[in-house]
Amino acid sequence: MSKLSTLKEQHPDFNIGLIDALSILFEKPKYVELAFNLHKHNFNKQMKNDWYSKRRYATDLINAGFKKENIDKISDQTLVVIHNILDDVHDAVLEDVNKFIELNERGLIENKDVTSYKTLEELQGALSVAELKMMSKDLEKFVIKLYDEDNWLIVKPLTYESSCKYGAGTKWCTASTSEEYQYHNYTRRGILIYAMNRKTGVKVAAFKNLDSDHQRETSFWNATDERIDSSECNLPSHILDVIITDFRSCIKSNYDLGTEETKKMNDERLNGKEKTNSLVYSLRELADRYDLTMADQPVEEAVPSIEYELTNGGAGA
């Protein structure tokens, strides 16, 4: 028996398709067939008229890390079924498994026994260890090192790029590829510190607010971006002491501690994002005015989408 067959046999509740579900709900085969035929007709009609949904479903899966060439091969029906099923799977699972596959195929994952990983935290730890191995020496000039001995490394990221690299394998908003503004928000109003273990992959982020316009805050965050107490960090006392000492002595934010080069890099990225956000706002206004479908498309997709609808009889055209 193959591994997939064994997995399906061991977890029958997770191995139910649409017809199986209809059979449970309607019991008699003739009613199952009735419900299915009605659904199929309605679905085909919807897909024929809703070209945008098909594009969005495909884009969502590609953004989650699945290969475009594989997505392009599947039918509309299969595309929607897969998309709907994966809606119930946490985004972190899809993203981290795809990242694990990439790094494992490159021989960068130490523990290659995929059956040994039972929690997201365990997988993210393995990813963090692999990412730290890949860290470029060129990136070191974009952080301030507070500690670098034995297996522990503590840094203050001075640019968004360095924050993403040193925060790889975590769900920190300051290292997110979709929420860059969070990095600029935190590093302009306070102290942002990353502590990480090269051997275990454990990562902890710490933040202290210095901006009088915001509430006082000293916080610690685990790799899954859950706020935790400093006593729950599982950091050795000497590592925690380094962070606390910096919080007590430093009076400048990460941004202010940066060089002219890092400040310029951050300013350019932030200004670029503000222009993008302004364009997105304008596009949403246009979409609302003409009753067009834009949803949360990236700008590069929103422009042709709106142009298409306007030139092909959009609702308000």
Contact 191, 210 (CB under 8 A): yes
| Most distant pair of Cα atoms in the chain: their distance | 75
55: how many CB neighbours lie within 10 A of its CB? 14
Asked if the model's pLDDT at residue 300 lies above 90, the reply is no
Q: Bigger pLDDT: 239 or 31? A: 239
Asked if the model's pLDDT at residue 255 lies above 90, the reply is yes
Contact 196, 223 (CB under 8 A): no
Which pLDDT band, with edges at 50, 70 and 90, does 162 fall under? very high
What is the chain's alpha carbon radius of gyration, rounded to the nearest angstrom? 24
Tokens 């035929």 appear where?
37
**Using CA of residue 88, residue 92, residue 95, residue 99, what is the dihedral sign?**
negative
Mean of the pLDDT values across residues 137-147? Answer: 89
Q: What is the DSSP string of 6-66?
A: HHHHH-GGG---HHHHHHHHH-SHHHHHHHHHHHHHHHHHHHHH-HHHHHHHHHHHHHTT-
| 62 closest CA partner among 79, 76, 81 | 79
Q: What tens digit of pLDDT does each residue of 178-187 get?
A: 788 899 999 9
Mean of the pLDDT values across residues 151-178? Answer: 92
Provide the whole-model pTM.
0.66
Mean of the pLDDT values across residues 261-285? Answer: 71
Asked if the model's pLDDT at residue 43 lies above 70, the reply is yes
Mean of the pLDDT values across residues 289-302? Answer: 50
- CB-based contacts of 35: which residues, under 8 Å, 6+ apart? 22, 25, 26
Q: What's the mean pLDDT when you consider all of the chain?
A: 82
